[in-house]
Amino acid sequence: MNCKKAEEYLVDYLYQELQAKKTLEIEKHLRSCPQCAKTLESWRAIHRAYQRNAFSEEPQIAPYFKQKILAVAEEELSRSPSWTERLIFAVKVATVPLAIFVIVLFLNEPKKMAMQRPQPEPVAPATKSEVAPDVQQKLETPLAGERKQDSTGFEAKRSEADYVDNLKARPYDQRLDKDLAEKNKEAGSDPPAGRIVANEQAAAPPMSAPAEEVQQHGAQTDYEQSKTEAAALKKGRIAETADDSYRRAKEGLDRNDIQEWRENSQRAVLMDNKKTLASDFYAAGNTYQSRGEYGKAIAQYKLLQSNYRDYHQMDDVLLRLGDSLAEVGEFDEAVKTYRQVSPSQRRVATERIQRLQKKQEAQKQLRSLGYVSSDKDKE
């Protein structure tokens, strides 16, 4: 074995994936070639060093991660198939009788042609063996829909990406639907159908003019929700673009109109496809916090927390949310929030948790000594 050949097998040898015969050959070469032996030694050193260091201080995944995925997994289990999935299934099921029909048609065709000829010549009719390979090939060729799966059963990447987008949007959509349902109930109108359910309906009724208007403005709506939103638009309670909705939400909050803030902020988030409003919510939250309006600050931060997970200032949002919660006496929730901070800021979060716990302890002691009256006593 020469050096070039040895180098080819060196990686297999290092990771013990080489056959016994080749192993002996390479070991023989390594004994006689210091250059290759040195290369192997350095690779082995890297392997050992990486094994030693790689997992020693690896950043940890966020603690809430599992719950987040489980929530989606649970939702997926209870989800009925969408109309596109049903359609694909129907096409797959229909393939079998269609294939049988094609076979029968192909088998009968030569006989018919032979009968229709005016002067039958002594030509042998098409036999089953001549037709079958052609038909067999047609049977074996997958339909366009079926080509989405490769040999290991993975679906086409495009459909995966679309699905992930839908999944990401769903929890928020459902909350919005619930809110809209409550709102309609109060107003005495029919509750809107859920977004997911309505999207799965194969034949939606024709859109009314206001509904079309909403869709033209870029909102992703189904018929029922469009109707509800169009009615809300007419009343002037919600705005047409993400920026308008955000502005109205903020104005609502400044006026202490929680209902208007809630409707418009949720709508702003829904329409904010480019995720540009995160910094606005963040800035508003900081302003409220600096003014001591902790309730409003909490509202902004919570909205960010649940809808802009990948916002680059998320750690600061969580720390500020924790601080604001602590200010209004929600100590347990504040601690929970601090614990969601990523490892890069965990030291800061731990310090705040400890400070909060000391504060709680001090309050308890003062209360037990009678220096501070409990809330009930005050009342």
Partner 1 sequence: MNEPASDEVLMLRYKDGDLSAFEVIIEKHQQPLFSFVYRFCNDYHQAQDLVQDVFLRLVKMAKNYEPKAKFTTYLYTIAHNVCIDYLRRKKKRQSVSLSDPIDAENGMTLEETMKDGRANPQRDFQQKSFEQALHQAVEDLPPEQREVFLLREQQNLAFDEIARIVGCLPSTAKSRMRYALQSIREKLQNKFSLADIV
Binding site for partner 1 (CB under 8 A): 7, 10-12, 15, 17, 39, 41-43, 45-51, 53-62, 65-66, 68-70, 72-74, 76-77, 149, 151-155, 157, 160-161, 163-164, 167-168, 309-310, 312-314, 316, 342-345
Residue 365's CB: how many other CB atoms inside 10 A? 11
Q: How far is the CB of 345 from partner 1 (least distance, A)?
A: 8
Q: How far is the CB of 280 from partner 1 (least distance, A)?
A: 19
CA–CA gap between residue 104 and residue 244 (Å, rounded): 63
CB 240 within 8 A of CB 210: no
Q: How far is the CB of 310 from partner 1 (least distance, A)?
A: 5
The nearer residue to partner 1, 210 or 343, going by C-beta atoms, is 343
The nearer residue to partner 1, 350 or 373, going by C-beta atoms, is 350
Q: How far is the CB of 52 from partner 1 (least distance, A)?
A: 9
The nearer residue to partner 1, 57 or 121, going by C-beta atoms, is 57
CB 237 within 8 A of CB 263: yes
Closest by CA position to 298, among listed 275, 330, 325, 278: 325
Q: How far is the CB of 379 from partner 1 (least distance, A)?
A: 43
The nearer residue to partner 1, 216 or 344, going by C-beta atoms, is 344
Q: How far is the CB of 59 from partner 1 (least distance, A)?
A: 6
Residue 244's CB: how many other CB atoms inside 10 A? 15
Q: How far is the CB of 147 from partner 1 (least distance, A)?
A: 14
Angle (nearest 5°) at CA 26 between 22 and 30: 170
Q: How far is the CB of 10 from partner 1 (least distance, A)?
A: 7
The nearer residue to partner 1, 57 or 379, going by C-beta atoms, is 57
The nearer residue to partner 1, 74 or 254, going by C-beta atoms, is 74
The nearer residue to partner 1, 66 or 147, going by C-beta atoms, is 66
The nearer residue to partner 1, 248 or 352, going by C-beta atoms, is 352
Distance spanning both ends of the chain, measured CA to CA: 92
Q: How far is the CB of 318 from partner 1 (least distance, A)?
A: 12
The nearer residue to partner 1, 231 or 348, going by C-beta atoms, is 348
CA–CA gap between residue 109 and residue 103 (Å, rounded): 10
The nearer residue to partner 1, 144 or 203, going by C-beta atoms, is 144
Q: How far is the CB of 315 from partner 1 (least distance, A)?
A: 8
